Amino acid sequence: MERGPFRIGIACFPLIGGSGILATALGSELARRGHDVYFFSYAQPVRLDLPQEGLHFHRVEVAHNPLFPCPDYTLPLAVKMAEVARSQQLDLFHVHYAVPHALAACLASQIVGPSAPRIVTTLHGTDTTLLGQDPDYRTAIEHALVHSDAVTAVSESLRTQTQEIFRLKRPIEVIPNFFTPNKPKRSREEVRSDFGVTNEFLVLHMSSLRPVKRVDLLLRTIAASKNRRRLRLFILAGGPFDPYEPLLDELLLRDVVVLRQNTAAVDEYLQAADAGLYTSEYESFGLSILETMFYGKPVVAFGVGGIPEVIGDSCPLYAFGDVVAAAAGLDALIESPNLARQLGKRSRSRAVETFSADRIVPRYEALYGHVVAARYA
């Protein structure tokens, strides 16, 4: 096995989606460990702190060439990846999310030829679970997975699902996500007073608000709580909340919900919260849940997809859609600060012991070592 340091090209989405957040955190940790990391995306990833030694960012221009009827991203991405692979002699591409990143890596590798970097593809969920079922994408994803030198999935649940959808004859390694907290810029009290919250129990939900997050069930859980007068629901929204405004009024929750869109300040919000509430119908992992656990906050969630692998036995999980049971779980936390503290402590221990950078990043480094060794062999 090669030990590195490696020259790694990372392609990811730059937005607040979990795949881009994880890719950014991984790139930063790898650079800290002495590797050279080259990011490719159409914008600087939101949590990418530059300058940092060993970290480089290559912006890819989306092609609005008047010759084409539609804008194109995959080709300019592949060309940029090939150029940098040649000029920096990259050892490998680590691409997050199959479409278009793994396909661009395949094309870049063909452009570069025999000295091309190895390809590691990490699946994050919707690239398999949604796009994998879409006939317009399925064959392309399959092609990218077959032509990657290694494929990883962020949970056992996602690995199983990917194997069921694609019936691949190749191994998929499970390497879970990790999180490294950043020092919050404001105190817990400052954030709470900004929300107008004093002694209320502050329930946090952070997500893109896409349909899979089931914001309807989130609001219904809060509405079913016996303690709705004693709690506030803080939603850190990575997408538009407008579709849920009518439900907010229907459930008479307008005074209960605080909404913010400044997704750069997650650490501040996590620190200010008392618990997390996640009602997705599917998560391959649930990075926001892990972030909540790192801050020692108990989590109320449905036991779907990879969520049980993340939470383990640190907090009880509820059957999907059972908002009455989830509300009762939340009430138990509100009514017993002792229970909330205990579950929060267990959540933090599990997060630190199982999903810290020190546990996870060496597993990627080992994988890189194997694929790079195979290249030189």
- 19 or 314: whose CB is closer to ligand GMT? 19
Residues 154, 266, 311, 361: which binds ligand GMT (CB under 6 A)? Answer: 154
Instruction: Supply the minimum distance, in Å, between the C-beta of residue 159 and ligand GMT.
Output: 13
161 binds ligand GMT (CB under 6 A): no
- Nearest residue (beta carbon) to ligand GMT: 125
Residues 44, 74, 163, 208: which binds ligand GMT (CB under 6 A)? Answer: 208
- 231 or 307: whose CB is closer to ligand GMT? 307
- Strand, coil or helix: what is 299? strand
DSSP 347-370: HHHHHHHHHSHHHHHHHHHHHHHH
User: How many binding residues for ligand GMT (CB under 6 A)?
Assistant: 20
**Sites for ligand GMT among residues 21-50 (CB under 6 A):** 22
Instruction: Supply the minimum distance, in Å, between the C-beta of residue 259 and ligand GMT.
Output: 17
Both tokens of 140, joined, read: 């392309």
Both tokens of 26, joined, read: 């991984």
**Sites for ligand GMT among residues 94-123 (CB under 6 A):** 97
Both tokens of 269, joined, read: 């919000």
Instruction: Supply the minimum distance, in Å, between the C-beta of residue 290 and ligand GMT.
Output: 8
177 binds ligand GMT (CB under 6 A): yes
- 256 or 351: whose CB is closer to ligand GMT? 351
Q: CA 174, CA 172: separation in Å to the nearest integer?
A: 7
DSSP state of 138: H
Question: Phi, psi at residue 59, to the nearest 5°?
Answer: -75, 135
Q: CA 216, CA 311: separation in Å to the nearest integer?
A: 23
- 57 or 97: whose CB is closer to ligand GMT? 97
- 79 or 212: whose CB is closer to ligand GMT? 212
Binding window for ligand GMT (CB under 6 A); candidates: 17-25, 64-72, 164-172, 221-229: 17-25
Binding window for ligand GMT (CB under 6 A); candidates: 159-167, 206-214, 246-254, 314-322: 206-214
* Spatial CA neighbour of 119 closest among 151, 143, 77, 97: 151
Give alpha helix (H) positions in the chain.
18-32, 74-88, 103-112, 126-129, 138-146, 156-166, 188-194, 215-224, 245-250, 266-272, 287-294, 307-311, 323-335, 337-355, 357-376
DSSP 175-225: ----------SS-HHHHHHHTT-SSSEEEEEEE---GGG-HHHHHHHHHH-
Instruction: Supply the minimum distance, in Å, between the C-beta of residue 373 and ligand GMT.
Output: 27
237 binds ligand GMT (CB under 6 A): no
287 binds ligand GMT (CB under 6 A): yes
355 binds ligand GMT (CB under 6 A): no
DSSP state of 263: G
Q: Which residues bind ligand GMT (CB under 6 A)?
A: 17-19, 22, 97, 124-126, 154, 177, 207-208, 210, 212, 282-287
